[in-house]
Amino acid sequence: MKMKLAIGADHAGYDYKEQLKKYLLEKDFEIADKGTFSVDSVDYPDFAHPVANALFNKEADTGILICGSANGVAITANRHHGIRAAICWTNEVAELARKHNDANIICIPSRFVSFELAKSMTDFFIKTAFEKGRHERRVEKIDI
């Protein structure tokens, strides 16, 4: 069965979203594109909420959010119960977000990383499993 990914971006992340979407479709992932659909100025919560909702409603297995700094989309997504959105800027951070924090949305700062790094971080994020063990206890303490 294909892994389902929900992806969203604001205007600052639009180009990376389109490139990542093409790359991931070539790798045979199922993609739910939650917008934006142009470089016109938009509000990042309008795209972060639908990605988080897709995971919450089990319509997607993993999420990808992209904006200029990744802060806005991460803050917005993390308001949702059960969502752990992690801002990533290196492959190691992306891998550890999954291994240690069971992050389910990668947030990419398009103004601070190259597209090649964004692609590589996404690969690390998707292929890495949660380690559980001592980390599971910590993750269970996140929700309030």
Judge whether 67 counts as a catalytic residue.
Answer: yes
Q: How buried is residue 129: exposed, middle or buried, by Cβ count under 10 Å (0-12/13-18/19+)?
A: exposed
Distance, CA of 46 to chain centre: 15
Q: Which of 11, 67, 88, 107 is catalytic?
A: 67
Q: Which of 11, 80, 88, 100 is catalytic?
A: 100
Judge whether 81 counts as a catalytic residue.
Answer: no
The CA distances from residue 131 to 4, 74, 101, 105, 137, in Å, are: 21, 22, 9, 17, 11
> What DSSP assignment string belongs to 3-53?
PEEEEEE-GGGHHHHHHHHHHHHHTT-EEEE----SSS---THHHHHHHHH
Residues catalogued as catalytic: 67, 100
